[in-house]
Chains A and B, each alone.
Chain A
Amino acid sequence: MGIVSLLDAPETTPNTPQVKNRRTRVIAVIMALVGLFTVFIFGFGSVSKAKSSLTFDPINLANAPIKLGSLTMPVRWTDIVLGLLMIALGAEVFIRRPRRAVMLRFGIVAILFLLALLFWAARSPGPSVISSVNLTSILVGSSATVMVLVFGSLSGVMCERSGVVNIAIEGQFIGGAFLGSMIASTTNNFFYAAIGGLVIGGLIGLLLAFFSLRYQSDQIIVGIVLVTMLGSLSSYLNLEIFTPFPNFNTGNIAPNLPIPLLSKIPILGPVFFNQSGFFYVMIILVALVSFALFKTRYGLHVRAVGEHPRAAATVGISVVRVRYINVVLGGAIAGLGGVGFMATQGQFQVGYTSGLGYIALAALIFGRWRPSGAVVASVIFGLSVYLSYDLVTYQFPVSIYILQTFPYLITIAVVAGLIGRVRAPAADGQPYIRD
Chain B
Amino acid sequence: MSDHDVSPRHAWWSRFTSSSPTVVTAYAFILGLVVGVVIIATTTPAVLDAWRGIFHGWDGLPHALNITFNNVGAAYRDMFTGSVVDPQGFWHSLTTGKGWPNTLTPLSETLTYATPLIIVSIGVGIAFQTGLFNIGANGQAVIGGIAGTAFGSMLHMPTIIHLPLTLLMGIAGGMLVGAVPGLLKAYTGAHEVIVTLMFNYVTYSVLLFMVLSTPFQQPGQANDIGRTLDPSAILAPLFGTTSGLRISYGIFVAAIVVVFAWWLLDRSSLGFDFRITGANPSAARASGINAKRVIVLAFLISGGLAGLAGVVQVASTTHYIDGGFLIGSAGIGFTAITVALLGRNRPMGIVWAALLFAALGVGGRNMQSLTGIPLDLATVIQSAIVLFVATPVLVKEIFKLRHVTTNSLQLATTGWGS
Interface residues, chain A, CB within 8 Å of chain B? 13, 23, 160, 163, 165, 167, 211, 215-222, 224-226, 228-229, 231-233, 235-237, 239-241, 244, 306, 355, 358, 361-362, 365, 399, 401-402, 404-405, 408-409, 411-412, 415-417, 423-431
Known: A218-B390, A218-B412, A417-B190. A235 touches B417 (CB 8 A): no
Quick check: B209 and A431 within 8 Å, CB to CB?
Answer: no
Interface residues, chain B, CB within 8 Å of chain A? 39, 43-45, 133, 135, 180, 184, 188-191, 193-195, 197-199, 201-202, 205-206, 208-209, 212-213, 329-330, 334, 337-338, 341, 373-374, 376-377, 379-380, 382-384, 386-387, 390-391, 393-394, 411-418
Known: A165-B415, A221-B341, A408-B199. A241 touches B334 (CB 8 A): no
A residues less than 8 Å from B212 (CB atoms): 399, 401
Quick check: A429 and B414 within 8 Å, CB to CB?
Answer: yes
5 nearest A-B pairs in the assembled complex, by CB-CB distance: A429-B415, A428-B417, A232-B379, A408-B198, A229-B383
Known: A401-B209, A424-B416. A355 touches B201 (CB 8 A): yes
Q: Which of B191, B329, B379 contacts A415 (CB 8 A)?
A: B191
Quick check: A409 and B415 within 8 Å, CB to CB?
Answer: no
Task: Taking A215-B393, A228-B338, A232-B329 as given, write out 16 further A-B residue pairs in contact, using a Cβ cutoff of 8 Å, ordered by the A residue number.
Answer: A216-B411, A217-B391, A220-B415, A221-B390, A222-B390, A225-B387, A228-B330, A233-B39, A240-B43, A399-B209, A401-B206, A412-B195, A416-B195, A423-B418, A430-B414, A430-B415
Quick check: B201 and A408 within 8 Å, CB to CB?
Answer: yes
Residue of A nearest to B135 (CB): A224
Residue of B nearest to A403 (CB): B205
Residue of B nearest to A239 (CB): B374
Question: Roughly how many angstroms separate A423 CA and B412 CA in the complex, as a whole number?
Answer: 21
Question: Roughly how many angstroms separate A225 CA and B379 CA in the complex, as a whole number?
Answer: 10
Known: A412-B194, A430-B417. A401 touches B208 (CB 8 A): yes
Question: Roughly how many angstroms separate A13 CA and B418 CA in the complex, as a whole number?
Answer: 11
Quick check: B380 and A229 within 8 Å, CB to CB?
Answer: yes
Q: Which of B334, B411, B415 contacts A424 (CB 8 A)?
A: B415
Quick check: B190 and A416 within 8 Å, CB to CB?
Answer: yes
Quick check: A429 and B208 within 8 Å, CB to CB?
Answer: no
CB pairs A–B below 8 angstroms (13 shown): A23-B188, A163-B417, A211-B391, A217-B391, A221-B341, A228-B382, A232-B377, A361-B194, A408-B198, A408-B201, A412-B180, A412-B194, A417-B188
B residues less than 8 Å from A23 (CB atoms): 188
Quick check: B383 and A225 within 8 Å, CB to CB?
Answer: yes
B residues less than 8 Å from A228 (CB atoms): 330, 334, 338, 379, 382-383
Quick check: B416 and A215 within 8 Å, CB to CB?
Answer: no
Quick check: A426 and B374 within 8 Å, CB to CB?
Answer: no
Residue of A nearest to B193 (CB): A220
B residues less than 8 Å from A241 (CB atoms): 43
Residue of B nearest to A229 (CB): B383
The minimal Cβ–Cβ distance linking A352 to chain B, given in whole angstroms, is 14
A residues less than 8 Å from B418 (CB atoms): 13, 423-424, 426
Known: A401-B208, A401-B209, A416-B184. A235 touches B329 (CB 8 A): yes
Question: Roughly how many angstroms separate A232 CA and B329 CA in the complex, as a whole number?
Answer: 7
The minimal Cβ–Cβ distance linking A3 to chain B, given in whole angstroms, is 17
Quick check: A361 and B197 within 8 Å, CB to CB?
Answer: yes
The minimal Cβ–Cβ distance linking B305 to chain A, given in whole angstroms, is 19
B residues less than 8 Å from A365 (CB atoms): 194
Question: Roughly how many angstroms separate A431 CA and B410 CA in the complex, as a whole number?
Answer: 12
The minimal Cβ–Cβ distance linking A228 to chain B, given in whole angstroms, is 5
Query: Which of B201, B377, B384 has the largest count of A CB atoms less than 10 A from its CB?
Result: B201
Quick check: A237 and B201 within 8 Å, CB to CB?
Answer: no
Quick check: B209 and A215 within 8 Å, CB to CB?
Answer: no
B residues less than 8 Å from A232 (CB atoms): 329-330, 376-377, 379-380, 383
The minimal Cβ–Cβ distance linking B283 to chain A, given in whole angstroms, is 19
Q: Which of B44, B205, B417 contacts A425 (CB 8 A)?
A: B417
Quick check: A408 and B202 within 8 Å, CB to CB?
Answer: yes
Residue of A nearest to B196 (CB): A412
A residues less than 8 Å from B394 (CB atoms): 211, 215
Quick check: A165 and B380 within 8 Å, CB to CB?
Answer: no
Quick check: A231 and B43 within 8 Å, CB to CB?
Answer: no
The minimal Cβ–Cβ distance linking B299 to chain A, given in whole angstroms, is 14
The minimal Cβ–Cβ distance linking A170 to chain B, given in whole angstroms, is 10
Question: Roughly how many angstroms separate A411 CA and B201 CA in the complex, as a whole number?
Answer: 12
Known: A236-B43, A241-B43, A365-B194. A219 touches B415 (CB 8 A): yes
Residue of A nearest to B43 (CB): A240
The minimal Cβ–Cβ distance linking A152 to chain B, given in whole angstroms, is 14
Question: Roughly how many angstroms separate A396 CA and B249 CA in the complex, as a whole number?
Answer: 44
Question: Roughly how many angstroms separate A8 CA and B193 CA in the complex, as a whole number?
Answer: 27
Quick check: B194 and A411 within 8 Å, CB to CB?
Answer: yes
B residues less than 8 Å from A13 (CB atoms): 418
Q: Which of B39, B189, B205, B330 contacts A401 (CB 8 A)?
A: B205
The minimal Cβ–Cβ distance linking A237 to chain B, given in whole angstroms, is 7
Q: Which of A217, A236, A399, A429 contacts B377 (CB 8 A)?
A: A236
The minimal Cβ–Cβ distance linking B172 to chain A, given in whole angstroms, is 21
A residues less than 8 Å from B193 (CB atoms): 220
Quick check: A235 and B374 within 8 Å, CB to CB?
Answer: yes
B residues less than 8 Å from A401 (CB atoms): 205-206, 208-209, 212
Residue of B nearest to A409 (CB): B202
B residues less than 8 Å from A231 (CB atoms): 329-330, 379
Residue of A nearest to B213 (CB): A399
B residues less than 8 Å from A431 (CB atoms): 411, 414
Q: Which of A225, A409, A427 contacts B198 (CB 8 A)?
A: A409
Quick check: A211 and B387 within 8 Å, CB to CB?
Answer: yes
Quick check: A221 and B201 within 8 Å, CB to CB?
Answer: no
Quick check: B374 and A240 within 8 Å, CB to CB?
Answer: yes
Query: Which of B194, B202, B390 has the largest count of A CB atoms less than 10 A from its CB?
Result: B194
Known: A221-B337, A221-B411. A402 touches B209 (CB 8 A): yes
Question: Roughly how many angstroms separate A430 CA and B412 CA in the complex, as a whole number?
Answer: 11
Question: Roughly how many angstroms separate A241 CA and B195 CA in the complex, as a whole number?
Answer: 37
Residue of A nearest to B386 (CB): A225
Residue of B nearest to A233 (CB): B380
The minimal Cβ–Cβ distance linking A403 to chain B, given in whole angstroms, is 8
B residues less than 8 Å from A225 (CB atoms): 338, 383, 386-387, 390
